[in-house]
Amino acid sequence: MNALDNATGILPETVETLPLVTPEQRQAILSAPRTTEVHRAFMNDIPAMNTVETGGAATDQTVSQIFTVAAWNLERCLFPEKSAALLASQAPDVVLLTEVDCGMARTGQRHPTAELAASLGMHYSYGVEFFEMDLGGETERPYCIDDHNKAGWHGNAVLSRAAPLSSAMIRLDDHGHWYVAGEFGCDPNQPRIGGRMAIATIIPAVTGNICVASVHLESNADSAHRGGQMERLIEAIENFAPGLPVVIGGDLNTGNSKESPNWQDESLFDIARMHGFSWDNNADGVTTRRSYLTPHPTRSMKLDWFASRGLSMDGASIVPALDVDGEPLSDHELIVGHFAMP
């Protein structure tokens, strides 16, 4: 059963290792008609599209009353060691990651989420946003070490110092936004199975449990589409973690639209406020930068955010996504927020 057929939108199954797409499934994807109905069938048939991989080792029993959350779109994660060092410098209790590869040739067939978790002493919950059939875009191919992907996963993750009590995937669409032929201007030569999603976990804290969610909203859409995804996400979280304090963080792609390029015009802000969420714990400033994979010299956008409910807020910052030599690690800056349990 896929998420959009599920009344709650919550897919709670977890495994230690995501099962790979079989050669037969891969061939079927390449040869099948590029329709929504076909895409939904593949979403049902590929176990990894509806499952969360969990691993790593937690170092704490609970999250402290005052805790730090880092959220970062890692743009595939070309540099796991350097990225881990930047995260460690912020001493986060929870890390919300988006756009992280697993078994992709462009990132050395590595599993960066597992490597980051091991380096930081954290548990991880990782879920697949897309199964990618090809090696990536023009700027990514020079980094490929093979002519194939071992797994082809690209997704989101939650890392935490305290092991979660439960983890779940929340699918935000399954219609094939990046698969259906000719839809939304997507590249017909690079079919991808999947869609935008969130990973949510319930983590024990000193004074009770909290829910955190790492989310990536659609870039190739308008404000109304992203607003609908935010509505669905909040509804699923309310079913998954009823009554708990919540932190949502990630790349919301605000203003990533030709029709309305200003993040202030996004409907998702008011939608979240109507459900009791606050956007106050976000630092001023843009959250994108030029990188090796995104070498646009003029790109300047505010895409990355925290929304929280039922928590006190103790400040936020935007940390440049640079290594110690000043080289870019991602096209998104690292955002950091400090929160407190009631």
Average pLDDT, the chain: 93
Q: How confident is the model at residue 261 (pLDDT cuts 50, 70, 90)?
A: confident
Question: Distance between CA atoms of 92 and 320, rounded to whole angstroms?
Answer: 16
pLDDT in tens, 125-182: 999 999 998 898 889 999 999 999 999 999 999 999 999 999 999 999 988 888 886 6
Question: Distance between CA atoms of 297 and 188, rounded to whole angstroms?
Answer: 27
Task: Assign a CATH topology to domain 3-340.
Answer: Deoxyribonuclease I; Chain A (3.60.10)
Q: What is the pLDDT of residue 1?
A: 45
pLDDT in tens, 64-103: 999 999 999 999 999 999 999 999 999 999 999 999 999 9
Written as one string, the DSSP assignment of 206-225 is: TTEEEEEEEEE--SSS-HHH
Q: What is the pLDDT of residue 96?
A: 99
**Residue 337 buriedness (CB in 10 A; 0-12 / 13-18 / 19+):** buried
Q: What is the mean pLDDT of residues 105-127?
A: 98
What is the pairing mode between strands 14-15 and 52-56?
Answer: parallel
Q: What is the mean pLDDT of residues 289-304?
A: 90
Domain boundaries, the chain: 3-340
Q: What is the mean pLDDT of residues 309-328?
A: 96
Region of 109 (left: φ > 0; alpha: ψ -120 to 50; beta: rest) is left
Amino acid 340 reads: A
Which residue stretches of the chain are H helix? 23-31, 36-45, 80-88, 112-120, 223-240, 268-274
